[in-house]
Amino acid sequence: MKNADTFHIGDVAARTGLSLRTLRYWEEMGLVEPTGRTDGGFRLYAEVDIQRLLLVRALKPADFTLEELQEILRLRDLLARDDLDGATRAKSERELERFLERAADRCKILRERLVAAELAMSALRESLTPTAD
């Protein structure tokens, strides 16, 4: 039921660093569904599924909701097809661009907040030795 190119959920968790619960939840939300199942009901992930999972994992720090990530995957899948009419392709490209721009903005904001946090932390650290030195 399982050939050499498919993986059980435990293998996938080990390879991606995601929890079993996260893998099942992402499937439940329609984000990444395993290619197949064994007769007994075990999930079977193919290499392409794992690449999808790694993409989602990589994008998560940009503060997307799972719904937004799903939309990004949908657009990516759509654009990967070659039977797409020009108008649909152009529209999808613009939508994906918009997502990526918002994500870039949020990355910038997160970086600024990290700087502010580190500033606050060094201020705290310095208050440890207020008079002495």
Residue 40 C-alpha from the chain's centroid: 29
Q: Find the shortest distance in angstroms from Cβ 24 to a second copy.
A: 23
- Gyration radius from the chain CA atoms: 21
Sign, CA torsion 75/79/82/83: positive
> Exactly one of 61, 67, 77, 84 binds a second copy (CB under 8 A); which one?
61
Cα 115 to chain centroid, rounded: 24
Q: Are 62 and 106 in contact (CB under 8 A)?
A: yes
Nearer to DNA, 26 or 75 (CB): 26
Residue type, 99: F
Of 21 and 125, which CB lies nearer to a second copy in the complex structure? 125
Question: Least CB distance from residue 62 to DNA, whole Å?
Answer: 12
Q: Which residues bind a second copy (CB under 8 A)?
A: 55, 58-62, 72, 76, 79-80, 93, 96-97, 100, 103-104, 107, 110-111, 113-114, 116-121, 124-125, 127-128
